[in-house]
């Protein structure tokens, strides 16, 4: 496959952790507990730690790590490999500490460690009684109230022009669950409960990304949970978060740490997120997703387009190419799936039809945060099934226009039909005068003649070598979904990765960040 990645310089990245260490980490001993806390932080390779329940252990922990220690009160603290330029704390000292940190190369971030209260005693049976949803919400009402006030003060504290453009990370023990988890599509994981938790809305509605859910867009209660590894009989939930806002940050990974060789020292798991720093470039940045959604049919045999919408919502994409999309088809409830997903995600939509099927049409779709000026079906040679590519002209916020071309080639092992489809599409692509993005389910692998033809001379959204397989989603074994951009010198690549979604479809979604140069 002849292509170049055009990958932006990712030489600088850093890892953040949020962790409630439980009474200073001393539950298992005055010395052995904090020692285990240090060992876990070291093994995580965290550069910045938002700590809660520091309770007298913080200075010793930071000294062992060789970090800068920035405490406030007895509860919350920040431990940083990087120097603290300024205290930017707000609200009550027990609940919030903030620091302006200087990262290498003169980069700066505003970093907050927070702890939010819970209206009831978590250890008392029935505080999360699924038969009393009002009581469940009330228990988290204090966290909502505190975070609303805290966020208003943070905005005011950082309102001066000297803080303009500085990314903000807010991490901590929120003592509340997330509206991104307790959804209708996943109610079976939450004892039949669906709750639109207000606390998590506060930062999400303010443009922050939930770093864990962005990297793990499909809800899995047990794997997601941070409360509580020490007490599995307690209600297991995700109540610790790392939120971030700012165009210069992109998440690369997020992991939960809840084990130690001897004994894990806390009743909260530690949440770690790795960020890469995207230096500003004179370009229009775009977040792209390509995803074969299998008409909303999950690997559990359940048809649930809302589950597909929930996964896509967590990726915060500007442009999405969907394959295996139904339109008014009986098997999927006679709905226009592209249009329904567009409405759910507040995006424009377009549909391209392969063929008539069960009273409707079967094909592919495009979703766009920006206006779709025109849409066109590019007829391709018929293989095992009829095929088209869907091309949409899209107007970006700076008024520039690009073409987004979405494809789904023939799937049979013999590549004769697939290669004929690729040749026909190549003719269309060669006729384009606008910059374009090509994405989709190629049903062929790197080094194939199909990929060689369509990738030649283009910028490729090259995936991490250790995690590049896109199919099948449960046990990924091959890479058949791709994103390319042309002309190559018009684009640069910020990042590209494949995300897990073992229930939602038999493919894994690709997420990539591209910049269109002026």
In a domain, 5, yes or no: no
| The token pair that represents 30 in the structure block | 């005055």
The answer to whether residues 507 and 475 touch, using CB atoms and an 8 Å cutoff, is: no
CA 30 to chain centre: 38
In a domain, 305, yes or no: yes
| The token pair that represents 93 in the structure block | 């000292």
Question: What 3-state DSSP class applies to 366?
Answer: strand
Q: Looking at 245, 277, 309, which one is the last position of a domain?
A: 277
Q: Looking at 230, 258, 277, which one is the last position of a domain?
A: 277
For position 123, what pLDDT does the model report? Answer: 75
Rounded Cα distance, 289 and 318, in Å? 8
Question: What 3-state DSSP class applies to 153?
Answer: helix
- 306 and 255 share a domain? no
Is the pTM value of this prediction over 0.85? yes
| The token pair that represents 250 in the structure block | 């992109």
In a domain, 239, yes or no: yes
- 253 and 315 share a domain? no
For residue 451, CA distances in Å to 24, 42, 352, 371, 471 come to: 55, 42, 22, 30, 16
Rounded Cα distance, 340 and 349, in Å? 9
- 293 and 270 share a domain? no
Question: What 3-state DSSP class applies to 202?
Answer: helix
Rounded Cα distance, 322 and 309, in Å? 12
Question: What 3-state DSSP class applies to 44?
Answer: helix
Q: Looking at 222, 244, 277, which one is the last position of a domain?
A: 277
Cβ of 261: how many Cβ atoms within 10 Å?
A: 9
- 125 and 88 share a domain? yes
**Would you write out the chain's pLDDT as a tens digit for each of its 518 residues?**
444 544 444 469 999 999 999 999 999 999 999 999 999 999 999 999 999 999 999 999 999 999 999 999 999 999 999 999 999 999 999 999 999 999 999 999 999 999 999 998 877 777 778 888 999 999 999 999 999 999 999 999 999 999 999 999 999 999 999 999 999 999 999 999 999 999 999 999 999 999 999 999 999 999 999 999 999 988 899 999 999 999 899 999 999 999 999 999 999 999 999 999 987 776 789 999 999 999 999 999 999 999 999 999 999 999 999 999 999 999 999 999 999 999 999 999 999 999 999 999 999 999 999 999 999 999 999 999 999 999 999 999 999 999 999 999 999 989 999 999 999 999 999 999 999 999 999 999 999 999 999 999 999 999 999 999 999 999 999 999 999 999 999 999 999 999 999 999 999 999 999 999 88
- 219 and 86 share a domain? yes
- 122 and 200 share a domain? yes
| The token pair that represents 391 in the structure block | 């091309």
Rounded Cα distance, 67 and 111, in Å? 15
For residue 210, CA distances in Å to 131, 181, 204 come to: 28, 11, 7
Q: Which residue has the tokens 């020490």?
A: 230
Cis peptide before 510 (omega within 30 of 0): no
CB-count burial class (<10 Å; 0-12, 13-18, 19+) for 402 = buried
Rounded Cα distance, 513 and 357, in Å? 35
Looking at residue 294, the DSSP 8-state letter turns out to be: G
Rounded Cα distance, 275 and 254, in Å? 9
The answer to whether residues 278 and 515 touch, using CB atoms and an 8 Å cutoff, is: no
In a domain, 490, yes or no: yes
Cis peptide before 472 (omega within 30 of 0): yes
- 346 and 315 share a domain? yes
Edge-to-edge strand list for the sheet holding 68-72: 68-72, 76-80, 48-52, 13-20, 270-277, 249-257
Q: 431: part of which helix (H) or strand (E)?
A: helix 416-431
Rounded Cα distance, 438 and 483, in Å? 6
For position 53, what pLDDT does the model report? Answer: 98
Cβ of 1: how many Cβ atoms within 10 Å?
A: 17
In a domain, 39, yes or no: yes
H-type helices in 32-95, by residue range? Answer: 32-44, 58-65
In a domain, 289, yes or no: yes
Q: Give the CA count within 13 Å in the CB-facing half-sphere of 284.
A: 17
Q: Domain with 273 in it: what CATH number?
A: 3.60.10.10
SS3 of 472-518: CCCCCCECCEEEEEECHHHEEEEEEEECCCCCCCCCCCEEEEEEECC
Provide the residue range defining the domain that includes 453.
Answer: 284-516
Q: 401: part of which helix (H) or strand (E)?
A: strand 401-408
- 145 and 213 share a domain? yes
The total domain count for the chain is 2
For position 330, what pLDDT does the model report? Answer: 98
Nearest CA among 80, 25, 31 for reference residue 55: 25
In a domain, 242, yes or no: yes
């Amino acid at each position: 496959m002849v292509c170049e990645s055009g990958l932006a310089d990712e030489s600088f990245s850093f890892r953040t952790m949020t962790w409630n260490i439980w009474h200073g980490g001393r539950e298992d001993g005055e010395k052995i507990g904090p020692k285990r806390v240090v060992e876990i932080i070291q093994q995580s390779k965290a550069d910045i730690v938002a700590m809660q329940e520091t309770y007298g252990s913080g200075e010793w922990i930071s000294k062992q790590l060789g970090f800068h220690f920035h405490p406030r009160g007895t509860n919350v603290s920040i431990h940083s490999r990087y120097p603290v330029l300024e205290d930017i704390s707000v609200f009550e000292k027990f609940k919030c500490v903030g620091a302006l940190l200087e990262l290498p190369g003169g980069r700066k971030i505003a970093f907050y460690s927070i702890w939010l209260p819970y209206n009831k005693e978590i250890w008392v049976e029935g505080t999360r009684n699924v038969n009393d949803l009002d009581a469940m919400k009330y228990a988290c009402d204090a966290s909502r109230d505190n975070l609303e006030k805290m966020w208003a003060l943070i905005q005011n504290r950082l309102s001066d022009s000297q803080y303009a453009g500085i990314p903000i990370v807010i991490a901590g023990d929120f003592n509340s669950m997330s509206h991104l988890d307790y959804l209708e599509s996943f109610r079976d994981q939450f004892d039949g409960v669906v709750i639109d938790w207000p606390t998590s809305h506060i930062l999400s509605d303010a443009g922050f990304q939930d770093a864990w859910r962005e990297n793990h867009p499909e809800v899995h209660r047990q794997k997601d949970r941070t409360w509580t590894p020490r007490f599995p009989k307690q209600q297991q939930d995700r109540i610790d978060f790392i939120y971030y806002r700012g165009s210069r940050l992109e998440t690369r990974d997020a992991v939960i740490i809840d084990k130690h060789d001897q004994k894990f020292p806390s009743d909260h798991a530690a949440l770690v997120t790795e960020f890469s720093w995207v230096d500003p470039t004179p370009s229009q940045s775009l977040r792209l997703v390509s995803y074969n959604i299998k008409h909303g049919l999950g690997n559990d045999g359940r048809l649930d387009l809302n589950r597909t919408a929930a996964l896509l919502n967590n990726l915060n994409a500007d442009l999405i190419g969907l394959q295996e999309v139904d339109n008014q088809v009986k098997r999927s409830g006679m709905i226009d799936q592209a249009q329904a997903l567009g409405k759910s995600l507040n995006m424009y939509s377009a549909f391209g039809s392969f063929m008539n099927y069960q009273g409707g049409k079967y094909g592919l779709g495009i979703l766009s945060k920006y206006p779709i000026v025109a849409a066109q079906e590019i007829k391709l040679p018929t293989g095992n099934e009829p095929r088209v590519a869907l091309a949409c002209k899209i107007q970006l916020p700076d008024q520039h226009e690009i073409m987004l071309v979405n494809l789904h080639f023939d799937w049979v092992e013999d590549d004769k039909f697939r290669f004929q489809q690729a040749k026909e599409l190549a003719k269309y692509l060669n006729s384009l005068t606008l910059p374009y993005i090509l994405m989709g389910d190629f049903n062929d692998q790197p080094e194939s003649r199909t990929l060689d033809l369509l990738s030649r001379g283009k910028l490729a959204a090259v995936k991490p070598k250790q995690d590049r397989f896109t199919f099948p989603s449960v046990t990924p074994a091959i890479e058949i979904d791709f994103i390319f951009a042309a002309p190559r010198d018009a684009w640069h690549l910020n990042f590209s990765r494949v995300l897990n979604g073992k229930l939602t479809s038999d493919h894994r979604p690709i997420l990539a960040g591209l910049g269109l140069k002026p």
